[in-house]
Chains A and B, each alone.
Chain A
Amino acid sequence: MYTSGINQMNAVPRQRPGAVRPVSRQRPATTGQWTAQRTAQRTGRTFHRWCAKITGVYAGIAVFCVVFCLIYEQFSFGEHSDAMRRMFLVPLIGGVLPFALLAASDLMNGLSRVTFNLWNSGIAVLVSGCLITGIIEISGRVSDYSLYYWIAGGVFLVAAVVAQFFPSNQRGTFSR
């Protein structure tokens, strides 16, 4: 479940006349912060379980990167690229590790959608950088654009971390 802001949180939910909202799905009486933990409870999922799910997704991406690299090298006449071989490390270190940590600990009990989007974007840019650099290196050429990928990816990741502590962003916590 995803809530985008305090206004939305305080809005009166649409209900059919006479319908009784189940107790487990009722909005808390308090108008305090709508935490991810509470949202997660409302939807029957915990933030930790959600993190575990994201960990699995990133693990799948890491495995895909390894498989892709192996297949690509099968058709590259013995050429290989360190950038492509290390591509799996990006989702592993940037995805599996942090989300597994969040799933297994109480370091955080919620994550803003902005942070999640930006973090995913950073990982995607870095994986793309590895992929494009690898393709270019294997073809025997020199990539002039790799540095831009590393910079852009880094900017996304830093922005994701900063966004998590951005006050107005705290109101829009989410888990799904």
Chain B
Amino acid sequence: MLRFLQKPFAYAAVFSVTLASVNTFVLLKTYVIPTVQGYVTEVSDDSSGSSGHSGYSGTTAVTKGDPVITDSSYTDENIQITLTTVRYADTDVYVADITLSSAEYLKTALASNTFGTNVTQKTSEMAAAHNAILAVNGDYYGASRQGYVIKNGVIYRDTARKDTSYDDLVIYSDGSFGIVNESEVTAQQLLDSGVVNLFAFGPALVQNGQIAVSQNQEVGRAMANNPRTAIGIIDDLHYIIVVSDGRTNQSEGLSLYQLAQVMQQYGCVTAYNLDGGGSSTMVFNGEVVNNPTTNGNRISERTVSDIVYIGY
């Protein structure tokens, strides 16, 4: 052993190869190798309050009637969606104004109906798989091993995130929004209080109708304008979902404060920032409506862990 350690080139070669292998493994484990921890099974009516891996009970018989669908709107007797594109801060911003007859049409879905890390799928693919009328990327829970994951009434992860500086958005079974901090409440308590969906990204953009972020506040350590995704509630069962372009010649992107301003201008009482950057994608009636950027400025849809969608 000592002799080997004394050999300059042999030792350096073996050590370098070993270190490179370890680094490669860590990167593959972080970005590529999927780790499946559970599967989403079909809905059952008694799943509320459980922490098993069954879906949220929300599939009571519904009647859609004959939907009226245009390039920028969808209307049936339960769901009304109007999609508009506005120009704000040199950025194209896609705004979906949503009115529902019941909160059960506001849903989330996991990539490949599987819970785990590095289990991803394109937003448009998930939207198609779930017959979503409108879908946007969610909180990309798979990017971290911490943070509560509650989707459709099921706790998938109950490990609180260490960084408590950001709050979570919770959606209750009646469709109302709330902002909570994981350091103050457990996932089970949230589920018991009626939470059916939770997003652990952040920060909260608007609270009680007031902008809740400072002009310099950013996600993580980002200091630049970026593509963004946000969701907000205006009134009972009346929501706004916003996706902005960015990182392109056409669109500079929004800062968090600018995004909060947009949400406030549309009358949001509560608004929350979801995963952005290359993940920001909006799908409406089966078409990607924004310009998602992946790997820099290339217009291409990125795969993500989960989506928020409107549908039956």
Contact = CB atoms under 8 A, between A and B. Distances in A.
Given A81-B221, A117-B12, A128-B19, A143 B6 contact: no
A7 to B, nearest CB: 11
B222 A77 contact: yes
B277 interface: yes
A62 interface: no
B23 A128 contact: yes
B2 A124 contact: no
A74 B247 CA distance: 13
B2 A114 contact: yes
A2 B11 CA distance: 14
B43 interface: no
B15 A142 contact: no
Q: Which of A80, A112, A125, A141 has the most CB of B within 10 A?
A: A141
B164 to A, nearest CB: 14
A78 B144 contact: no
A132 B15 contact: no
B145 interface: yes
A118 interface: yes
A39 B29 CA distance: 47
A146 to B, nearest CB: 9
Interface in A132-175: 132, 135-137, 139-145, 163, 168-169, 172
Q: Which of B23, B31, B143 has the most CB of A within 10 A?
A: B23
Given A75-B296, A78-B224, A81-B221, A140 B143 contact: yes
A130 to B, nearest CB: 12
A112 B27 CA distance: 34
Contact of B143 (A120, A121, A125, A141): A141
Interface residues of A, number: 36
Interface in B1-55: 2-3, 5-8, 11-12, 15-16, 19, 22-23, 26-27, 29-31
A144 B8 CA distance: 32
A141 B8 contact: no
Given A79-B222, A117-B8, A169 B277 contact: no
Contacts of B65: none
Nearest to A159: B5
Given A114-B2, A143-B30, A77 B277 contact: yes
Contact of B30 (A81, A113, A141, A168): A141
Contact of B8 (A113, A131, A168): A113
Contact of B220 (A4, A75, A140, A169): A140
Contacts of B219: 140
Contacts of B144: 141-142
A114 B6 contact: yes
Interface of A: 2, 4-5, 75, 77-82, 112-114, 117-118, 120-121, 124-125, 128, 131-132, 135-137, 139-145, 163, 168-169, 172
18 contacts: A2-B8, A4-B7, A77-B222, A77-B226, A77-B277, A112-B6, A114-B2, A114-B5, A118-B5, A124-B15, A128-B19, A132-B26, A137-B221, A140-B143, A141-B144, A142-B143, A143-B26, A172-B6
What 8 A-B pairs have minimum CB-CB distances, sorted nearest first? A78-B224, A78-B223, A114-B5, A113-B6, A141-B143, A78-B222, A142-B144, A145-B26
Given A78-B226, A113-B6, A144-B145, 17 more contacts: A2-B8, A75-B296, A77-B247, A79-B220, A80-B221, A114-B5, A114-B6, A118-B5, A124-B16, A128-B23, A135-B27, A136-B30, A137-B221, A140-B219, A143-B26, A145-B26, A163-B5
